[in-house]
Structure formats: structure tokens, C-alpha cells
Amino acid sequence: MSNSARSIFVFGLYLLALGIVLIVVPNFLLGMFFLPSTTEVWIRVVGVVVLYLGFYYTQAARKEMIDFFQ
């Protein structure tokens, strides 16, 4: 795995972790930034989008998609 692929892979893992946190415990993350708690669904929708992006980034890194890196 090249250095750029490793960087993209680590960022993808970060996005996967962030997406899981936004889906499971969004108010914990909102509290860290001093934002009010919410019960609306939109924060979880954003979590699903972030989770999808994390999956895409990790797969792009595993397949060495150089066009994506550039």
C-alpha cells in the first residue's frame, strides 16, 4: 500500500468511526461542540452519508485508485 493509499485508508477509518458515532450516539458528539441535544432524524442521516463515504474511501485505498487520490 502506497503512502497516499495509506493516508486515504486512515481517513476512511476515521469517517467510518464518525459515521457510527453519529448514528448511535449523536448527542454525545453534539455535546462535545457545545451544541444543543436533538431528537431529529437528520443527524443520523448525516451519519449514514459519512458512513458511506468512509466505506468508499477505504475501498478506494485498498484498490489503489490513483485517480481518486489525485
Distance CA 70, CA 42 (A): 31
pLDDT tens digits for 15-41?
A: 999 999 999 998 988 889 898 988 889
The percent of residues in the chain predicted with pLDDT above 70, rounded, is 100
Assess whether pLDDT exceeds 90 at residue 48: yes
Assess whether pLDDT exceeds 90 at residue 54: yes
Grid coordinates of 29 = 458528539
Check residue 2 and give its pLDDT: 85
Check residue 67 and give its pLDDT: 86
Contact 54, 13 (CB under 8 A): yes
DSSP one-letter string for 10-70 = HHHHHHHHHHHHHHH-HHHHHHHTTPPP---SHHHHHHHHHHHHHHHHHHHHHTT-HHHH-
